[in-house]
Amino acid sequence: MKKNIAIVGATGAVGTLVKKLLEAREFPVGKIKFLASARSLGRKLEFAGEQIPVELMNPEAFKGIDIAIGSTPDEIAREFVPWAVAAGAVVVDESAAHRMLPHVPLVVPEVNSEAIAGHQGIIASPNCSTTQMVVAMKPLHDAARIRRVVVTTYQATSGAGLAGDVDLLEGSRAALDQQEWKYQAFSHPIAFNVVPQIGSFQDNGYTSEEMKMVLETRKIFADETIDVCPTCVRVPVRNCHSESIVVETESPVSVAQARSLFEAASGIRVLDEPDSGVYPMPGNCDDRDDVFVGRIRRDISRENSLAFWCVSDNLRKGAATNAVQIAERLASGDY
C-alpha cells in the first residue's frame, strides 16, 4: 500500500540522501512533501521526475502524512515531532531528541526490527557510530552473548555536517599553503590531525558521543548488562566511520566461526584477506549501505574475545539508509 511521506529537513545533506534512497529503493510513495525552514522556501526538489516545492515545516504540513522522516537537529525534532504525531503520522526521527525515552523504540532493522511494533508514534534511529557497531555485534551476540565491548572510532568529518567537510578541505589547503584557516565545525585543526573528542565531556570523563554508544547499545539489545568502553575520535577523512572493535563473549567463538556468522548476517559484508591487502577502508566503502567487517582475529590478551575492524558510510547506513529501512518495515508491516 502506498504511503504519504514527509521528509523533514529535506534540503540538508541527510534529507537529500533520504529523498534519493526512497526513489532508488522504489519505496511505495503516494504523496511526498519536502519540509524545511523558511530559508528554503521557493526551492523545488525533484522526485520521480516531478519538481516539488519545499514547504514550511508547521503543524498543518503533516495533515494526511503517514510517515515522516526527520533529519534535523535535536531542538527542531522536539518541535516538529509532536505536531506530526498529533496529525496521525508515525515519525522516524534521526535526531538524538527521543532516542532514550522509555516509550520510544530505538531501531536498527537488522538487529531489533521487532521493536517497531511497540511504537507510540515515534521510532528513533540511533547515532551513526552506534548503528554500524550493533549491526556487527548482532550475529556474535546471538551466537555467544556479548558481555563486553571495547571500541575506538575513527569518525569522518561529514558526521559534523557540511561545515565539517569544508573544514577538512579548506583547512587542508590552508595547511599545505602554510596559511591559517578559521575552523567552524571543530575546535582544533582537523587537517593532518586527529581529535579525541566528539561532543561535550561528561562528569565521568567520557564524551556525549561516547555515552551515546554505551546507552544506545544497551537499549537496542535490551540488555543493560553489556559493558561498553568507547573512545570516539575525529579523523581527517571526508566520509565513512571506521571502528576498531573488541568483543568478549560468554562462550568462545573461533575466528572461523565469527567469519561465517558475519558472512551469513543481513547487512554485513566481509572484506578479510589481509595477506592480499583486502580489508575495509573508507575509500572502498563510501556510498554503500552495508557494514563492512575485516581484520577478524582472536584477542590474544583475553579469553573468549575477538577483535575486528568495521567501516560503514555514516551518512547512509549511519543515518539515511537506516531511517528508510525503518520506514520500509512500517510500510510493509514486516517487523
Same-domain pairing of 175 and 237: yes
Q: What is the pLDDT of residue 155?
A: 98
| Helices assigned H by DSSP within 179-228 | 208-221
Residue type, 58: N
Dump pLDDT digits (tens) for 7-17: 999 999 999 99
Provide the domain count of the chain. 2
Q: Give the Cα-Cα-Cα angle 255, 257, 259 (nearest 5 degrees).
A: 70
The chain-wide mean pLDDT, for the chain, equals 97
Domain of residue 42, CATH code: 3.40.50.720
The pTM of this model reads 0.96
DSSP string, 229-297: EEEEEE-S-SS-EEEEEEEEESS---HHHHHHHHHHSTTEEE--BGGGTB---HHHHTT--SEEEEEEE
Q: What is the pLDDT of residue 106?
A: 98
Residues 117 and 182 both lie in one domain? no
Average pLDDT over residues 257-264: 98
Question: Which run of H or E residues covers position 76?
Answer: helix 74-86
Phi, psi (deg, nearest 5) at residue 329: -65, -40
| 164-179: pLDDT as tens digits | 999 999 999 999 999 9
Q: What is the pLDDT of residue 1?
A: 87
- Could you tell me if 298 and 264 lie in one domain? yes
| 106 and 210 part of one domain | no
- d(Cα 44, Cα 52) in Å, to the nearest integer? 5
pLDDT tens profile 60-87: 999 999 999 999 999 999 999 999 999 9
pLDDT band of 199, cuts 50, 70, 90: very high
What's the confidence (pLDDT) of residue 143?
Answer: 98
Q: Looking at the structure, do residues 176 and 138 belong to the same domain, yes or no?
A: yes
Residue range 115-140, pLDDT digits in tens: 999 999 999 999 999 999 999 999 99
> Alpha-carbon dihedral of residues 223, 228, 233, 238, nearest 10 degrees?
-30
- Residues 107, 152, single domain; the answer is no
Mean pLDDT of 41-57: 94
Residue 334 reports pLDDT greater than 90 = no
Rounded to whole angstroms, the Cα distance separating 170 from 174 reads: 6
Domain match, 300 and 161 both:
yes
Long-range contacts of 298-302 (CB under 8 A, 24+ apart): 298/254, 298/255, 299/246, 299/248, 302/248
Give the separation between CA 11 and CA 35, rounded to whole angstroms: 8
Distances, alpha carbon 100 to alpha carbons 123, 220, 257, 299, in Å: 11, 10, 33, 32
**Chain segment 281-305, per-residue pLDDT in tens:** 999 999 999 999 999 999 999 999 9
If asked whether residues 179 and 300 sit together in one domain, one would say yes
Structural domain of 117: 3-127+319-332
More confident residue, 106 or 162: 106
- Are 143 and 271 in a shared domain? yes
Same domain flag for 286 and 176:
yes
Report residue 130: phi and psi, to 5°.
-70, -40
Structure confidence at residue 204 (pLDDT)? 98
Q: Residue 165 is part of a domain; what is its CATH number?
A: 3.30.360.10
Question: Is residue 161 domain-shared with residue 272, that is, in the same domain?
Answer: yes
Examine the pLDDT at 198 and tell me if it is beyond 90: yes
For the residues 83-100, what does the mean pLDDT come to?
98
Q: Predicted confidence band at 42 (pLDDT cuts at 50, 70, 90)?
A: confident
Active site residues: 128, 241
DSSP 8-state code for residue 19: H
Same domain, 166 and 281: yes
